[in-house]
């Protein structure tokens, strides 16, 4: 056989796509397609709060999925208030702790959550995030 010259190492320059994040916590709608050398903002999705951060697509980007340089916002969740009406089977003690009511057994756990369902992705429109 005749030797053949193989050339490798050149990759096309591409724009950046939004990062894969928890769409119930982060709003990446402004980062769907970021041109090389451009930037976009990533913010916290309500009820989370935090300082909006800037994400940048490098001018020499060659990876659409991993190219966006981002330091995600530090989003915090507000403290959950006590429910206006306790669910059946629970009691609130004067000291602020919860317990199982008479004729119920177990350990009453207090958990604060904004969403019953989490979704990971990079869609412009976040998933339906339901409060518990």
Measured from the Cβ of residue 19, the count of other Cβ atoms closer than 10 Å reads 19
In this prediction, residues 89-117 reach a mean pLDDT of: 79
Cis bond upstream, residue 110 (ω within 30) = no
Give the pTM.
0.61
Tens of pLDDT, residue by residue over 49-58, are 899 999 999 9
In this prediction, residues 105-131 reach a mean pLDDT of: 58
Q: How confident is the model at residue 13 (pLDDT cuts 50, 70, 90)?
A: very high
Reported as half-sphere exposure (CB side, CA atoms, 13 A), residue 68 has a value of 27
Tens of pLDDT, residue by residue over 18-54, are 988 888 889 999 999 999 999 999 999 888 889 999 9
CA max distance for the chain: 89
């Amino acid at each position: 056989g005749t030797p053949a010259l193989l050339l490798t190492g050149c990759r096309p320059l591409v724009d950046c796509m939004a990062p894969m994040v928890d769409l119930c916590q982060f709003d990446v709608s402004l980062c769907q397609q970021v041109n090389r050398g451009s930037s976009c903002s990533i913010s916290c999705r309500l009820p989370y709060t935090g300082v909006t951060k800037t994400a940048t697509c490098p001018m020499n980007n060659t990876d659409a999925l991993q190219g966006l340089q981002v330091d995600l916002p530090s989003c915090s969740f507000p403290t959950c208030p006590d429910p206006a009406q306790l669910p059946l089977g629970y009691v609130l003690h004067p000291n602020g702790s919860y317990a199982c009511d008479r004729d119920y057994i177990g350990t009453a756990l207090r958990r604060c959550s904004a969403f019953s369902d989490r979704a990971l992705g990079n869609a412009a429109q976040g998933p339906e995030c339901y409060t518990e």
